[in-house]
Structure 1
Amino acid sequence: MITERDIQILRDLATEYAQYACLPEQNERKKLWLALNSGRMERPMVLIDQLPWNELNVDGSLNCQIEDPYWREVEDRLRKTIYKWKYLPADMVLNPYIHLFVPTIQTGWGIDIIEDRLEFETGNDIVSHEYNNQFECMEDLEKLKMPTIRRDAEAEKLIRQQADVIFGGIIPYHMGGAYGEAGPYGFRVGPWDWITQWMGITDVYITMMDEPELVHAIMQKCTDGIVGLIHQYNKEGLFDIESNGVHCSHTFSEDLPRPGFDPNRPQSQDAWGFGLAQLMSSCSPETTREFEVEYMKKTCSLMGAVYYGCCERLDDRMDIISQIPNIRKVSCSPWSDREHFAEVLPQNYVMSNKPNPAVLATTSFSLEDARADLRRTLAAAKQHGKRLEFIMKDISTLQHDPKRIWEWSKMAVEECKRSV
C-alpha cells in the first residue's frame, strides 16, 4: 500500500530527477555513447557503479522512507541516481523518463542458497560469503527446476495507476524489463555466478577435475533453463530496452532495438544480455572453452548484443571468448594484462576497462596514482586503435572518504578528454 506521504516523497524525487534529466548535456553525452557503441568513438567514456553506499550517505539523503517494496526500490534507485549525478556523474546519462520494472510472477530455480556470511562493517551490503555444496551427485540435479516467469497483470495495472498519479505533470515513465532471475543489470545469459553460490568455489573446482560430467550436466540444465527464460521473456515482452544499460555500462545503439520492433513486446534480439564466468580465471583457456563457451553460444545467439566478462582475466583466452556470438563489449579487469588485452581484442569489440578499485581503498589516497593508472590504459587502447570505456565498480570501501570517488570521477573524464 502506498500512502499520500509516499506519493509526495516520490514526486519530490521525480521533480529533482527531471531537472537534471532535461539538461542539454544529457543529449550530448548520449551522442558520445552512441558513437562509442557504434564503432566511431569520439573519446573514451567513464561510468561508476556498485558503490559502498553506507559510506556515501553522509547527510541521510540516501535513506529510504517508503515501505511498499515496489516503490521503495524506485525510491532507492532515484535517490542513488540523483546522488551520483550531483557528486560523481562521470559520463552517466539520465533518461528523460522514469524507468519502472514490470512486476512479474516467477518460480526461480527451485533451490535456495545455503551460506555462512561474515560482515566486516555494520550497514555495509558488501560481505564475505562461504557457500555450501548442494550438488554432490547426479541425483542432486533433481533439486534444479526450470524457471518460469510471466507478467503480473493485476499488479502492473495497479502500479501504472499509481505511477500516473505520482509522476503526472512532472515526467513520463516507461515500464520495461523485470527484476528476478535476470537481475537489474540486464538479462544474464550465463549461470556461473548462480552455480558458484549453489556449490561454493572450491567444490566447483574439485568437481570439474573429479566429476566433469556432473558439471556438464549442471551447465546443460542451466543453459536449457536460460534458453527457456529467453523464450518466456519474448512471449511476455519483458526484455529491457528502457534503462539503456547493461552490467554497469550504457548500451545506446543505432541498430538496437531493431527497426520496426514492438515497443510493448521487445524481443531478445532487440536487447542486450550479459555473461561472465569469473571463476574461470583460475582455469586454463581450454577449460573455459569446454565449460563456458560451448554453452554460451546457445544463449548469446538469441540476443541482440552481449556484454561479456566481469572480474575474470580474459586477455589470455580472447580467441576462445570471441567465438561467443553477438559480443560487443568485453571486460578488461584488473587481472588482465591491459596492453596484451588491447592488442588481441577484436576491432569490433569495445574494451571495457575496470580500473582497480583498490586505488580508492588504501589508507592514503593518491589521485595522481589513479591518474597514472588510467593513462596507462588510455595509451594501450590508443596504440592498438581500440574503442575504450572505463567502468569503476566493485568498490568495497572508500575508507569513509566520499570525496575520493568524487575526485576520481572528475579526473577520469578529464583524462579521457585529454587523450584525444
Structure 2
Amino acid sequence: LNRFAVECLGDCVSKLMLTEANGFCYNQLIFQPFQDILCAEMCSEESQEQIVTLLATFVHSNANMIGSGWRPLFSTLKALRIESHNDADADNDDQLKTVSSVQATVLDIFSAYLNIRNTNVLLATLLDYITCVLQYLQSMEPEDDVAITSTNITVASTALQNLLKVERMLHDLLNRADTADPHLLQRLTMRERDQQFVERHTDASFLVEPLSTVLIEEPFFDVVQPILPTDLDRLLEVPQTNSPWENYTAPMRSCVEIYLSLLEGLTAVTFVCPVPLQSNLLRTIADLIEAQISTDYGMNFGAYGLSVLVFPMLQRWLRKETAEHENNLKQALGLCTEIVKQYVLHSEGIHSKTLFAHCFSLRSYTVIFLIRHNKRQSLADRFTHHTGYIYKCDSFSLKKTHYRINKLSYSTSKEQTIGRDF
C-alpha cells in the first residue's frame, strides 16, 4: 500500500509540475509532501528508498523544470536516514567497503543539479544545496569502525568535490547574475551585524606578569628613547574596516552571501568530518582563501573570510582541547599563517593589518595551548618552542620595530617563570 501511494504521488507531481516564472514557488508546494513523508518517524526504509529513486527520476528527466522544487527536494535528502541503508543482496564485506545504492543515487542527484544553467534558479536554491551536501560531508559512523568509515570517507570526499564545483560556479555567477535574492540579501545584512572575531583580549595574568614590570632594557639594542610602560601594556587595537562588498550590486551581494555560507559551512564541518579527511579539508579551505588574491571577489573578501569565519573556528577548536586532532590543528595554524603572510606582502591596506592582528592573537593563543598540553617535552623544550613559534610568526613584517627587541629581552628574563607556570 505504501509503495502504491508513493507511486500515485509521483504521478501527480509529474502532471502538475510546470516551468515557473522568476520569483514563483509553485513547484515548491507540490514537492513538499515528499519531505513530509520522509520526516515522519513511521516512514519505512523501503519507502525512503522508493522516494529517493523517484526524486532521481524527476531530476534526470525534468531538471530544468523543478525550479523552486529543489528546496523541498534537498530537505528530503537531508531527512534521509542514510546510515541504515544497505543493499540486501550484497555480501557483508562489500557493504562495508562500497557505498549503497541509495547513497549512490543521492550523490548522482547532487551531480545532476550542478548542470543547471538558469542563474535565477541557482541563486534561489544554491544555499539549500550547500546545506544538504554539507550534511553528507559529516562523519556518520563511529571512528573506531574502520571498514564503515571507509565508506563514509568515500561519500564525504564526493560531497567535497561537489562543493568545490559550486565554488567555481560562484566565480562565474558573480558577473553573470542579473537578479538578486531578497532572502540572501537579508542574510548578508544580518551577517554584517553579528560578526565574530578572534578574542584577542584574553586574561593571561595567571601566566605572565605585565610586560612593563619585567622588561629589561639592554644598551646593546641602542634604544634612543625608552618605551613608556603605558605603551607596553596597552591592548592591541584592531582597525575597523568596511565590508568588502560595500560597493557591489544587489545580484553580486547575493553571490557573496552564498560564497560566505559555503566557506562558513566548510570551516564548521571540519570539526565533524571523518578524521582522515580533515587534513585535505583544511588544505582546501586554505587554497580557496589564498586564491582570492587573484579572483573577482578580491583580496579584501578573502581577508574578511579568514578573520570572521576561519580564525574564530580555530579558536573554538582550541577550546575543545582534543589531543587526537593536535596534528591537524598545527597544520591549520601553519596554513593560516602562510596565507596571512601572502596577504600582507601583496597589500598594505587596512584589511591586511586587521588580518595580521587576528592571526597573531590566534597564533599566540595556540602556542600557549600546545605548550600547556604537550606533556612529552621537557619544560625547557616547551619554552624554546614558545619563543621560536612567536618569533617566526611575526619576524617577516616586524623587522624594524621595538617589538622584536622587547620580545627577546622579555623572553630571556622570564624563562624560569614561564617554564615553571607551564
TM tier, smaller = under 0.3
Please say which structure displays the higher CA radius of gyration: 2
- Per the normalisation by structure 1, the TM-score is 0.27
Q: Normalising by the residue count of structure 2, what TM-score does the alignment of the two structures yield?
A: 0.27
More strand by share: 1
Higher relative contact order (CA 8 A, sep 6+): 1
